[in-house]
Structure 1
Amino acid sequence: MPDIPLLLLIAGFLILLSILTSKVSERFGVPALLLFLGVGMLAGSDGIGGIHFDNALVANFVGTIALAYILFSGGLDTSWQNIRPVLWRGLTLSTLGVLITALLLGLFVWLVLDFSFTASLLLAAIVSSTDAAAVFSVLRSRAVSLKGKLRPLLELESGSNDPMAIFLTIGLIQLLTVPDASWLALLPSFLLQMSLGTAIGLGTGSLASLVLNRIRLDYEGLYPVLSMSIVVMVFGLAETVGGNGFLAVYLCGIVLGNHDFIHKRSLMRFHDGLGWLMQISMFLVLGLLVFPSQLPTVIGSGLLVSVFLMFVARPIAVYIGLWRSQFDLRERTLVAWTGLRGAVPIVLATFPLLAGYPQSELIFNIVFFVVLTSVLLQGKTLMPLARWLGVDEPLASRPRYPLEFERTENMHGETREFEIQPDAAVVGKCIEDLELPSDVLILLIHRGERFVVPRGQTRIEPHDALLVLAEPNLLHVARRVLEVKASATKPAVDAGVCSEKTGHSDNTG
């Protein structure tokens, strides 16, 4: 009988230790997932913790549930307006790019390692997808972003390429373990899984928005529970009818996140925190599952696979996927190098273990080594390369406002931030002179390092960030008013119109 209090103490301590190690990630630019894995490895059988854990079924279950919530959280935070210009290129990289990567790497593994052709493709398919969390943790730790449409492209590709890798992995395992399985059956299965996953994800996303807006729960704390149940229901429904559950929850998150629903701000924060908890839990379990003493035996094979994947397979797939696109050679090179592998390959490596495939332990150790190599090499060199290529830019910091509004059952308005560009027509005007609808309220102005409480005589200055409250349809009107460019034919605004020169008396700190 396990000692339950001791298990809870250990679990709490490991999660706390993982959270504290995230400060190391911020300081040295090492992806947090590597540190979480390290904590699990130190606590495991070969580490100082001595916790013996070799249950692939539990690790696979934890990884599957965690990935569902992580993908949903990623979709919830994805802006359709940002990804729409790169939609087809992102989907090309997440499907055709993954397939090309797997084929090239599989052929290489078959030629240089002692694997059958199908087993070589299996190993390649497992490591064919990239990890969005790893990429953007590096960017955030260096307070750096990427220019143009690079960030939304990487965001879309990293968030949507897992279903393709999962499908290839499961299909190849069937070919290896089921005698009557056929290559020809994979294509209809792929089309069925993706079409059902897409339909269920899009449909349930719209339905979830409707449910959240129409249902009237007596306790606000039940809304996060409701959203959690939506995730597992969508995943379970898609998998039950033969669709791809991971694609379904990701699309459900995108659709829901781009709809307006009550308690949206608090629910997005909840799922952001839940996503971090799922990442930590998944990496800890996967770290416990690996035996570091077995890794030296795969160093040679792992290095060969890693080098070919990073320098040959991924770049070729990216250059083909972005052929004749709006991205220039520098941007394509950065995308080719931004192929960090993360938790998904390690989770997928547990599938051969569950299937009882003879070379499953060797595949698991090679995959784990490839992930470590990718995170260490690509993670540490990503920003220097972006700087050298000239595609990096400072990460815009979003102000934390001292007040906040959120849509509830009795309040249907929402807040939105508008940054005033220097060439905007409203620059120099008083708030009372703006042609805004009467139901549009400017709550606060972020100006430099301080906040200004707006009054009718407060003058709009360049680079002001206006926090605006209004109904969703009126926010579109406010956007047109605040973002319209100044006309060269219009006379300059008289600086003496406003009774308040700068609004300094409105400073709230």
Structure 2
Amino acid sequence: MTQMILLVSIVILCCIFADKASDRFGMPALILFMFIGMLFGSDGIFKIQFDDFTLAENVCSAALIFIMFYGGFNTKWKLAKPVAGKSVLLSTVGVAATGLITAGLCHLLLGFTPAESFLIGAVLGSTDAASVFAILRKHKLNLKDGTASLLELESGSNDPTAYLMTLVGITGLGAGQGGFVLKMIFSQVFFGLAVGAVFALAAVWLMTKTRLISDEMDTVFLVAAVLFCYAASSLLGGNAYLSVYLMGILTGNRNIPNKRNLIPFFDGLTSLAQILIFFLLGLLTFPRQMPAILGPAIVVVLCITLVARPVAVFALLLPLKCSVKQCLLVAWAGLRGASSSVFAIMAVAAGGAGMQQELFHIVFTVSVFSVAIQGTLLPWVARRLDMVDDTVDVRKTFNDYEENSNFALMQEQVFEGHAWAHRKIRELQMPNGSLALMIKRGGENIVTRGDTEIQPGDTVVWIASGYTPDTDEKLEEVQVEKDHPWCGKRVAELQLPAHMLIAMVLRGSQTIIPDGNTRICPEDRVVTYQ
């Protein structure tokens, strides 16, 4: 047990370091997670023997639940609504068309049976939300004509269609199966939508209208509600992934308590789920078997990337007056990844079409190509097509920016000799976009006017434009003890890196904005910016 825990912790740490290294190499982190899995696998350095597709299916399916839920929860419906029709069309008809065209090409070019070809097209029909989100956000790649929101909504909502097609492929398309398939499709869609809506409404009502859930338990409650939604939908024969995705959209776009705490929690949980899926994908791979299927896999890659996806996108979007450039970009952004891998594992575990490892390694190769090549080149392709909108941050299209304030409240202690002492509000030289709101004088709160005079001892509360830092910018707090190398030194004497600045010194209840002569004392908390 101890060895297993140690192994899991090492794997997670390796993936975290790989995520950071991906920025330097310009490669999406998800592809590195796959290679870490291969490194630990039976053909890798650590020789972990793992080929239990049933166990992998259960683990990955559980991980995909939260990826699907967070994909909906973090979608800002206000911005996605104008392109919702196009996105839903791509996530339903587009996925079906992509899968069927891919299946037809596999049958014609590779000689696979119709059942095998259909199963390949089914598991590869959907695009991967995790990959698309990660690339758009990491590169701050906002796209013109609402394309970013279109891709976010499409990639987040098209997994249920691919899941349904995979179930049909696993079940088989033999004679006399037509009625059963139609009944299954109706049940999947009807109960999938109904259960998702009911659970979303119930969760929002419980969180906003009752006191049954304490603030400390809201994340636990929502995790339980998502799992309950998935299980209930599955038991009723509905599309469980559709249910949790719809639940995510409906809850994420409501004003629920502690939303600012819920979003980072589910963001971290989803990151862990992505690591788990892509690591297992690499772990289940046997590189020594790859040469035998490399040729067919490359044909599938070319078919889906250069034919099936573009044909489906152009056929659906051009009649809706989308530009050729937008269609080209949407076609290229059809990344395959986590969901396709999970559906492939599901098909192998069920013995679908008898393909076993061949199907899995084809999907692995397509995922590697898609994330590594398409994902890496996506920013370049967007700029070459002149589809990048640099005036807006793409992160604003996600719900984790919905409640970010554009302003910050600040306070200034005024003492005798302070530049603001004995001056009127209208005489202050404050930063542009700032406004003095209130003066706290003794136990009195004074709403300021232009002729309000500031006295020594006053605390001036003012509002200023907020700032959203880049991902590489951060504030850190350093606790200074007697043996700390900064203790007793003035700020000017510290040999700080060129990218670091001491922004604030917290000394007891006192807040000090330092200059070069400020001396760091024991027990100070020093806030650095870098």
Range of TM-score over shorter length: 0.7 to 0.9
Aligned to 1:323: 318
Alpha-carbon separation, structure 1, partners of 2:431 and 2:169: 60
Please state how far the C-alpha of 1:139 moved relative to its aligned partner. 2.7
Secondary structure of 1:47's partner?
coil
Alpha-carbon separation, structure 2, partners of 1:504 and 1:351: 59
Aligned to 2:32: 35
In the alignment, does 2:291 pair up with 1:296? yes
Alpha-carbon separation, structure 1, partners of 2:90 and 2:310: 11
Aligned to 2:345: 350
Alpha-carbon separation, structure 2, partners of 1:292 and 1:417: 50
Deviations 1:168-223 (A, max 9, x none): 011111116xx666134323321221121111112211110111224436864322
- Structure 2 residue aligned with 1:240, among 231, 235, 243? 235
- Pairwise mapping of residues 357-396 of structure 1 onto structure 2 (< 5 A)? 357=352, 358-394=354-390, 396=393
Aligned to 1:203: 198
- Pairwise mapping of residues 384-423 of structure 1 onto structure 2 (< 5 A)? 384-394=380-390, 396=393, 417-418=405-406
- Pairwise mapping of residues 82-231 of structure 1 onto structure 2 (< 5 A)? 82-175=79-172, 182-216=177-211, 220-231=215-226
Aligned to 2:497: none
Aligned to 1:76: 73
Alpha-carbon separation, structure 1, partners of 2:462 and 2:253: 38
8 Å CA contact 1:235, 1:249 repeated in 2: yes
8 Å CA contact 1:94, 1:161 repeated in 2: yes
Please state how far the C-alpha of 1:52 moved relative to its aligned partner. 0.8
Structure 1 residues 6 and 322: alpha-carbon distance in aligned structure 2, compared to 1, 3 A threshold: same
Structure 1 residues 78 and 459: alpha-carbon distance in aligned structure 2, compared to 1, 3 A threshold: farther
Structure 1 residues 393 and 297: alpha-carbon distance in aligned structure 2, compared to 1, 3 A threshold: same
Alpha-carbon separation, structure 1, partners of 2:462 and 2:220: 44
Please state how far the C-alpha of 1:299 moved relative to its aligned partner. 1.1
Unaligned runs of 5+ in 2: 397-401, 412-423, 438-448, 454-459, 465-503, 505-512, 514-530
Alpha-carbon separation, structure 2, partners of 1:190 and 1:255: 23
In the alignment, does 2:261 pair up with 1:266? yes
- Structure 1 residue aligned with 2:50, among 53, 64, 81? 53
Structure 1 residues 201 and 114: alpha-carbon distance in aligned structure 2, compared to 1, 3 A threshold: same
Structure 1 residues 201 and 398: alpha-carbon distance in aligned structure 2, compared to 1, 3 A threshold: closer
Alpha-carbon separation, structure 2, partners of 1:215 and 1:49: 52
Secondary structure of 1:322's partner?
helix
Secondary structure of 2:405's partner?
strand
Aligned to 2:23: 26
Which AA in structure 1 matches 2:108?
Answer: L
Alpha-carbon separation, structure 2, partners of 1:151 and 1:397: 7
8 Å CA contact 2:341, 2:364 repeated in 1: yes
Deviations 1:434-468 (A, max 9, x none): xxxxxxxx7469xxxxxxxxx98699998x599x9
- Percent identical pairs in the alignment equals 36
Structure 1 residues 349 and 498: alpha-carbon distance in aligned structure 2, compared to 1, 3 A threshold: farther
Structure 1 residues 81 and 52: alpha-carbon distance in aligned structure 2, compared to 1, 3 A threshold: same
Please state how far the C-alpha of 1:344 moved relative to its aligned partner. 1.1
Please state how far the C-alpha of 1:393 moved relative to its aligned partner. 2.9
Structure 1 residues 124 and 398: alpha-carbon distance in aligned structure 2, compared to 1, 3 A threshold: closer
Deviations 1:3-41 (A, max 9, x none): x00000000010011011001222333222111111111
Alpha-carbon separation, structure 1, partners of 2:128 and 2:51: 25
- Structure 1 residue aligned with 2:59, among 57, 62, 82? 62
Structure 1 residues 215 and 504: alpha-carbon distance in aligned structure 2, compared to 1, 3 A threshold: closer
Which AA in structure 1 matches 2:288?
Answer: S
Deviations 1:309-348 (A, max 9, x none): 1111000100112133242111111001101101111111
In the alignment, does 2:274 pair up with 1:286? no
Secondary structure of 1:145's partner?
coil
Please state how far the C-alpha of 1:145 moved relative to its aligned partner. 2.1
8 Å CA contact 1:217, 1:223 repeated in 2: no
Alpha-carbon separation, structure 1, partners of 2:394 and 2:430: 21
Which AA in structure 2 matches 1:85?
Answer: P
Please state how far the C-alpha of 1:388 moved relative to its aligned partner. 0.6
- Structure 1 residue aligned with 2:333, among 338, 343, 346? 338
Which AA in structure 1 matches 2:59?
Answer: V
Alpha-carbon separation, structure 2, partners of 1:276 and 1:143: 18
8 Å CA contact 2:207, 2:257 repeated in 1: yes
Which AA in structure 1 matches 2:381?
Answer: L
Structure 1 residues 217 and 87: alpha-carbon distance in aligned structure 2, compared to 1, 3 A threshold: same
Secondary structure of 1:299's partner?
helix
Alpha-carbon separation, structure 1, partners of 2:395 and 2:358: 46
- Structure 2 residue aligned with 1:311, among 295, 298, 306? 306
Please state how far the C-alpha of 1:286 moved relative to its aligned partner. 2.0
Please state how far the C-alpha of 1:114 moved relative to its aligned partner. 2.9
Alpha-carbon separation, structure 2, partners of 1:415 and 1:138: 23
Which AA in structure 1 matches 2:116?
Answer: A
Alpha-carbon separation, structure 2, partners of 1:24 and 1:365: 26
8 Å CA contact 1:198, 1:247 repeated in 2: yes
Aligned to 1:252: 247
8 Å CA contact 1:105, 1:305 repeated in 2: yes
| Worse-superposed segment, 359-368 or 185-194 | 185-194
8 Å CA contact 2:136, 2:394 repeated in 1: no
Which AA in structure 2 matches 1:417?
Answer: S
Structure 1 residues 360 and 138: alpha-carbon distance in aligned structure 2, compared to 1, 3 A threshold: same
Structure 1 residues 217 and 26: alpha-carbon distance in aligned structure 2, compared to 1, 3 A threshold: farther
Unaligned runs of 5+ in 1: 400-413, 420-441, 446-454, 469-495
Aligned to 2:444: none
The structure with the larger Rg is 2
The total of aligned residue pairs comes to 428
Which AA in structure 2 matches 1:236?
Answer: A
Structure 1 residues 255 and 123: alpha-carbon distance in aligned structure 2, compared to 1, 3 A threshold: same
Alpha-carbon separation, structure 1, partners of 2:376 and 2:164: 30
RMSD of aligned alpha carbons: 3.0
Alpha-carbon separation, structure 1, partners of 2:395 and 2:106: 46
Alpha-carbon separation, structure 2, partners of 1:114 and 1:269: 47
Alpha-carbon separation, structure 2, partners of 1:380 and 1:218: 43
8 Å CA contact 1:73, 1:275 repeated in 2: yes
Alpha-carbon separation, structure 2, partners of 1:314 and 1:465: 50
8 Å CA contact 1:193, 1:242 repeated in 2: yes
Which AA in structure 1 matches 2:123?
Answer: I
8 Å CA contact 2:122, 2:165 repeated in 1: yes
